[in-house]
A and B are shown apart, each in its own frame.
Chain A
Amino acid sequence: MVALDAPRGRLAGDRRHLGRALAAWLTLLLLAVSVLSLGSGASGVSAAAVLTDWAAGRDLAEIDRVVLFDIRLPRLLSGVLVGAALAVSGAVMQGLFRNPLADPGLLGVSAGASLGAISAIVLGGLLPPSIAALAGWHLVPLAAFAGSWVAMIVLYGIATRQGRTSVATMLLAGIALAAMIAALSGLIIYRANDQQLRDLTFWGLGSLAGASWTKLGAAAPIILAALAVTPFLARGLNGLALGEAAAAHVGLRVQRVKAGAILSAAAATGAAVAISGGIGFVGIVVPHLLRLLAGPDHRWLLVNSGLLGASVLIAADMISRSVVAPAELPIGIVTAMIGGPFFLWVLLSNRRVLDA
């Protein structure tokens, strides 16, 4: 047949084998980074030593057990989920808005989450003590998650008329909504004292330092459910690349794809931001890099974004823990310091493709 690669019957221009191979490599990378992450940290507990002890049937020292299973493991799993959530949500939003620079921030999710977190940090003291005690120090993540959902639902409501969501309206309304939310946040920050301002700054830069089994237990089901939806969006997002009309022509239920994309990205991002605070760049850099490596077909792009996003976040977390040990840098600083220049380099070396 024409244009077929004889030995394997593969059509030229079909890059799914690249996506498949990449998925295998990225899985190995994630495993490797995870083992490294478990084995490194301020306490000097070595995962290898602990595992050897454990395999030999010796009892673990209490300190080793605590460091490994109550500190590093939940932190590692939080990193995996947050990284995967941010990168996959980024890829989904870029597909939905047909724009490689889109990110979940466009849904008002980040702005809403910030407002929630800021409110909790600054105004949390005004709550009745019983409620404050019930929420404990989960107050900030809970408020962030609630804020992200309220913002997303308002925005989705504005952009949807007669069962059809206008992506263009959503984009513009999102800018207006983000401005209003930022103003509101500013008002609240105006009331903050010095300690609260410090908390706010650190929350805005993101960190996995507060990771715990409880937090993970609350966020993991949401993130996993949202990520589980995304493979069903892959064909729809491919079709949307031709525009909404053409996507419908080829037999896609466009509104269903749009609603699924918006809801899953907002849920995953909201939960991720609640665990870790604001972490930039992962959602844009990871999908972009993968598109350059294996093309924009979402059937592998979404899976690979999850794998690479998780690895990137764990690696960034390791760096944030080690450069100023025993103190920690906010992870958002690491992702931006490394991600920013890297993204610029990728952009400049691929101008030909981008300008076309």
Chain B
Amino acid sequence: MSLIARDIHLRLGRTDILHGVDLTAPVGRVTAIIGPNGSGKTSLLRALAGEIVPVSGRIALNGLPIVGMRPEVLAGHRAVLPQQSAISFPFTAAEIVRIGLTSVAGDQIRQGALIGEALAAVGLPGHAGRLYQELSGGEQQRVQLARALVQVWQPVVDGAPRWLLLDEPVSSLDIAHQIAVMRLAADYARRGGGVVAVMHDLNLTGMFADHVLLMRGGRAMAEGAPAEVLDSALLSDAYGCRLRVGEVPRAGVWLLPHSATL
């Protein structure tokens, strides 16, 4: 069981975005997609989510091709946290999270309890009645994460893992909440689910990712364990600036821009 992309070619409008990308995201692990701006990370995640259909290539979720899968079936296999989420009407946090239950069967009491648990899990207990538009950017991002979480609350259903696809899940968060959200993702994977996250913060990637895909210019530069991919030379080449990877005992790898190490 895994989330597999093979030779994905993707075009948006007249621009070729991905030129034959492969990815094998293992279940029970946090897979991070990293790379500079415009390298195709988000586009790859959208293709994995079934949101945009590649020109060619194959995507299989737990062994099933996602192209042509009915939306409500796909929704039972994976949930998606997009980068931005502007809301047009004054919904409360609880009402936003409830939208994540659109394709989930269940009685109202159970669903209400689930919404409360999900908001607590993202560190927003007591925010259920707050208007989404009045929350801070970081709080809004965590409400959206709760919305994605309730959709696939159990990491494993009938022996099949479920997937969280997260596009920059910590971009608006302070450092404590960055760590909390990454722990939540890691915990979801540890309980048997799968997580694929587009990441900008390489230190958080070093701390929490089990598997890393490094992209540049719509191609995969490297894929593998963090120890292999988070390499000074490889990253310096990918991002076009000098980066130095160090190791902190018992905490993992740490990266610093070269100038800061002087």
Binding site for B on A (CB under 8 A): 1-4, 9-15, 98-100, 235, 238-239, 241-243, 245-246, 248-254, 291, 295-297, 353, 356
Cα distance A255–B40 in the bound complex, in angstroms: 26
- Of A4, A243, A291, the residue contacting B116 (CB under 8 A) is A4
Write out the residue numbers on chain B whose beta carbons fall within 8 Å of the beta carbon of A243.
82, 85-86
Q: Does B115 contact A (CB under 8 A)?
A: yes
- The answer to whether B92 touches A295 (Cβ under 8 A) is yes
Q: Does B95 lie at the interface of the complex (its beta carbon under 8 Å from any beta carbon of A)?
A: yes
Known: A15-B95, A353-B90. Is A239-B102 also a contact (CB below 8 A)? yes
A-B contact list, 29 entries, CB within 8 Å: A2-B116, A2-B119, A3-B129, A4-B113, A9-B113, A10-B112, A11-B116, A11-B128, A12-B128, A13-B93, A13-B128, A14-B94, A100-B89, A241-B88, A241-B89, A245-B46, A245-B82, A246-B80, A248-B51, A249-B79, A250-B99, A251-B76, A251-B102, A252-B71, A252-B102, A295-B92, A296-B89, A296-B90, A296-B95
Chain B residues near A239 (CB, 8 Å)?
Answer: 99, 102
Contact in complex: B72, A3 (CB < 8 Å): no
Residues on A with C-beta less than 8 A from B115 are: 11, 14
Shortest Cβ gap from A261 to chain B (Å):
14
Total contacting residues, chain B, CB less than 8 A: 50
Question: Bound state CA distance, A9 and B109, in angstroms?
Answer: 7
Among B76, B80, B91: residue with most chain A CB under 10 A: B91
Q: Is the CB of A15 within 8 A of B120?
A: no
Contact A296 B126 (CB under 8 A): no
Please name the residue on chain B nearest to A240 by beta carbon. B88
Contact between B103 and A242 (Cβ–Cβ < 8 Å)?
A: no
In the bound complex, residues from chain B placing their C-beta under 8 Å from that of A251 are: 71-76, 102-103, 151
Beta-carbon contacts of B215-255 to A below 8 Å, as 1s and 0s? 00000000000000000000000000000000000000000
Q: Are B99 and A3 in contact (CB under 8 A)?
A: no
Which of A1, A242, A250 gathers the greatest number of chain B CB atoms within 10 Å? A250
Query: Is B96 an interface residue when CB atoms closer than 8 A count as contact?
Result: yes
Is the Cβ of B100 less than 8 Å from the Cβ of A250?
yes
- B52–chain A nearest beta-carbon distance, Å: 9
How long is the Cα–Cα vector from A277 to B38 in the complex, in angstroms?
53
Interfacial chain A residues near B129, Cβ < 8 Å: 3, 12-13
Tell me, yes or no, whether B98 is within 8 Å of chain A by CB: yes
Could you give, for residues 97-112 of chain B, a 1 whenever the CB lies within 8 Å of some chain A CB and a 0 otherwise?
Answer: 0111011000001001
Q: Which of B17-72 contact A (CB under 8 A)?
A: 46, 49-51, 71-72
Query: Are A3 and B82 within 8 A (Cβ)?
Result: no
Please give me the residue from chain A that is nearest to B89 by CB atom.
A296
In angstroms, Cα B19 to Cα A290, docked, is 50
Chain A residues with CB under 8 A of B98: 14
Does B89 lie within 8 Å of A3, measured CB to CB? no
Give every chain B residue within 8 A of A9 (Cβ-Cβ): 109, 112-113
B130 within 8 A of A: yes
A3 touches B71 (CB 8 A): no
Q: Contact check, A98 vs B88: say whether CB atoms are below 8 A apart.
A: yes
Q: Are B133 and A353 touching (Cβ within 8 A)?
A: yes
* Interchain CB contact under 8 A, B112 and A14: yes
Cβ of B16 within 8 Å of any chain A Cβ, yes or no, is no
Contact check: which of B88, B96, B109, B127 meets A99 at CB < 8 Å? B88
Known contacts: A14-B94, A249-B49, A249-B75. The answer to whether A356 contacts B130 by CB under 8 A is: no
Tell me which of A15, A246, A291 contacts B85 (CB under 8 A): A246
Q: What's the Cα separation between A253 and B103 when bound, in Å?
A: 11
In the complex, which residue of chain A has the Cβ closest to the Cβ of B115? Answer: A11
Which of chain B's residues have a CB closer than 8 A to the CB of A250?
Answer: 75, 79, 99-100, 102-103, 147, 151
Alpha-carbon distance A1/B120, docked complex (angstroms): 10
Q: Find chain A residues with CB under 8 A from B112 CB.
A: 4, 9-11, 14
Question: Any chain A CB within 8 A of the CB of B201?
Answer: no
